[in-house]
Amino acid sequence: MAKNNLSLVSGANGHLGNNLVRFLLSKDIPVRATVRNINNKQPFDGLNCEVMQADITDKASFVKALQGVETFYAVGASFKLWAKDPKKEIYDVNMNGTRNTIEAAAEAGVKRIVYVSSIAALDYTKLPAKESNGYNPDRRDMYYNSKNDGEKLAFELAAKYGIELVSVMPAAMIGSEAFLPLNVSYGVLKLILNKEIPVDTKITLNWVDVKDVAEGCFLAAEKGRPGERYILANERCMTITDTTILAGKLYPELKLKAPNSVPKAILFSIATLMEFTAKLSGKAPLLTRKDISMFSGLQQNFDISKARNELGFNPKSPEQAVKEALDYLMKKPEFLKGT
């Protein structure tokens, strides 16, 4: 891919999208960034890129935005694990968004798409999970369903329209530049620093630095084989409790304590109460019964040899990613207070 070829990044004010824009600009690649709210300028302060309004629910907006684009980084999506109407607000948005943007890319003559999927689209029944295991058979979560079905749809449409499409599957992205509201992964670190995780859920996360994922997206555009999927994660996961212990060692002045271990029945009772409160407030609960049943004890360990060997993906360790992300948050007190 020549350096003067225009790239478009959707969801460019989001955590990955914005860091990807910054990475591409550092490579002297001209970038067009799309956002739903054109008035949200802060993420682009000092960045030499074109910013356009486009919404994945509006195909025409992407037909316009993708004119003259060589490589489309399809980052924009509804990234949340809870909603009042999860099918409508998460699944339908992501499925329609995949169809709209890829059909728009075909109309605009885009040659290559890096489709941002998720480790949610992997089968965890054999560990370490790898791309060739296939798709996640667990259908209890609408976000997970949207990433599994969305990736399949993306490959089908790319084949139909003759577009080279590579899928990347990031893990829990933290670190580097971020803007409020914080994404789900960064939000967990915020909860840890604010001492808002009282019990050990035995939930694990596969931490990866967002800058490494941004580079992985670029490497996928450069070296990825069309029709292939690549995991952008670390080999090992960490429990939220182990992450809390690490944070406590890094910041002893915060006097962070490892959350208490409780029986799973108690966890379900706590989650039931939180879900009830969420229905009244309209705000996402800290914990749901689905979270416990799906993720408590789930080991998110990956074989990333394919991304290492074919793309040159080489992420920093999860411990280093957590350390740098915590350092960033500690220097942003407004992030720790913000909702």
- Cα angle 318-292-250, degrees, rounded to a multiple of 5: 30
Euclidean distance between CA atoms 120 and 150, whole angstroms: 11
Give me the pLDDT at residue 2, please. 43
Give me the pLDDT at residue 1, please. 41
User: What residues are paired with 7 via a beta bridge?
Assistant: 31, 71
Model confidence pTM above 0.85: yes
DSSP state of 309: I
Euclidean distance between CA atoms 304 and 249, whole angstroms: 29
The one-letter amino acid at 170: P
Domains of the chain: 7-177+209-234+301-315 (3.40.50.720)
User: What residues are paired with 299 via a beta bridge?
Assistant: none
**Torsional class of 234: left (φ above 0), alpha (ψ -120 to 50), beta (otherwise):** beta
Give me the pLDDT at residue 81, please. 78
Pick from 168, 250, 171, 229: nearest CA to 204? 171
Cβ partners under 8 Å of residue 145, min gap 6: 91, 139
For each successive 10 residues of the chain (339 residues), what is the average pLDDT? 76 95 97 93 93 96 97 92 88 96 97 96 95 95 95 98 98 92 90 91 96 98 98 97 95 92 91 90 88 92 98 97 96 80
Backbone angles phi, psi at 210, to 5 degrees: -60, -30
Euclidean distance between CA atoms 285 and 180, whole angstroms: 18
Euclidean distance between CA atoms 212 and 218, whole angstroms: 10
- Cα angle 168-292-90, degrees, rounded to a multiple of 5: 45
Backbone angles phi, psi at 91, to 5 degrees: -65, -55
Backbone angles phi, psi at 231, to 5 degrees: -80, 125
Tokens at residue 75, please? 């980052």
Euclidean distance between CA atoms 329 and 185, whole angstroms: 13
- Cα angle 303-23-238, degrees, rounded to a multiple of 5: 35
Give me the pLDDT at residue 338, please. 56
Contact in structure between 188 and 205 (CB atoms under 8 Å): yes
Helices 184-193/240-250 angle, 10° precision: 50
